[in-house]
């Protein structure tokens, strides 16, 4: 008897919402999912990049220009989308702010985008029944949640909060068969890293830092493939987990 093989890695025809879709890992993930046959709702602030994704999607991509710090924009996103199979929260910002310079505004700017928007989007997706049973929620955390990085206490705290909150959501949504996980990349060669050279870090400092990565710095696709796996049915028994992708950085003493 010939066995029928069910490829649970196949995400063709899944419908996915992606925030932060116009840069870095979010853009790479959007491109990959489009090429794999997904229908996407892509959220970002860069109209040029949103249009590029719509063109690539050939009718299967709906772009939403929004500021996730604005609760009305979050409500607009929820009202616009149809039912989805997955949600990827890739939107985020990082600023280097030492302890003595932290103020209410700096806390609010980072937290509202990195953390609050994830909570409110997830809450509304569930309340409005916009995410299907056996759906998957993936948020982009960071190995910064596991290290003390000087000047990055707000960012590190936001990412640690994403991990902890996702574990709670995983328990709360298990009865709906909705999985919730985080992905924690090390340094990935995105626009953010490229812009850091000359602004916050010297070229020599980046070279020295990369030597702490046994496999070197990552590329956006390295993270995009892991996110895609978590969106696929192949990960149906994975929830409440934080997956570290760092080229071996966390095994370096």
Digitized pLDDT (tens) for each residue of the chain, 253 residues in all: 565 668 999 999 999 999 999 999 999 999 999 999 999 999 999 999 999 999 999 999 999 999 999 999 999 999 999 999 999 999 999 888 888 888 999 889 999 999 999 999 999 999 999 999 999 999 999 999 998 888 889 999 999 999 999 999 999 999 999 999 999 999 999 876 665 555 556 778 888 989 999 999 999 999 999 999 999 999 999 999 999 999 999 987 6
- What CA–CA distance (Å, rounded) separates 119 from 31? 25
Rg (CA), the chain: 18
* Domains of the chain, residue spans: 15-191+219-248
CATH of domain 15-191+219-248: 3.40.50.720
Dihedral sign from CA coordinates of 75, 121, 137, 252: positive
What sections of the chain are H helices per DSSP?
A: 24-35, 47-57, 71-80, 104-111, 117-127, 153-173, 191-196, 203-210, 220-231
């Amino acid at each position: 008897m010939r066995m029928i093989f069910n490829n649970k890695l196949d995400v063709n025809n899944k419908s996915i919402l992606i925030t932060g879709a116009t840069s870095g890992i979010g853009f790479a993930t959007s491109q990959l999912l489009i090429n794999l046959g997904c229908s996407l709702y892509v959220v970002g602030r860069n109209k040029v990049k949103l249009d590029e994704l719509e063109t690539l999607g050939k009718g299967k991509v709906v772009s939403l220009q929004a500021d996730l710090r604005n609760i009305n924009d979050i409500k607009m996103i929820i009202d616009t989308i149809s039912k989805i199979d997955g949600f990827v929260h890739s939107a985020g910002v990082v600023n280097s702010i030492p302890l003595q310079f932290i103020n209410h505004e700096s806390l609010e700017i980072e937290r509202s985008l990195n953390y609050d928007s994830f909570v409110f989007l997830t809450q509304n997706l569930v309340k409005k029944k916009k995410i299907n049973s056996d759906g998957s929620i993936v948020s982009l955390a960071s190995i910064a949640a596991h290290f003390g990085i000087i000047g990055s206490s707000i960012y590190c705290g936001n990412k640690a909060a994403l991990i902890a909150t996702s574990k709670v959501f995983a328990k709360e949504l298990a009865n709906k068969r909705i999985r919730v996980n985080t992905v924690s990349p090390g340094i990935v060669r995105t626009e953010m890293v490229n812009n850091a050279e000359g602004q916050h870090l010297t070229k020599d400092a980046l070279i020295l830092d990369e030597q702490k990565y046994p496999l070197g710095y990552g590329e956006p696709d390295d993270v995009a493939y892991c996110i895609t796996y978590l969106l696929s049915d192949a990960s149906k028994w994975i929830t409440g987990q934080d997956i570290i992708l760092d080229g071996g950085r966390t095994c370096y003493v």
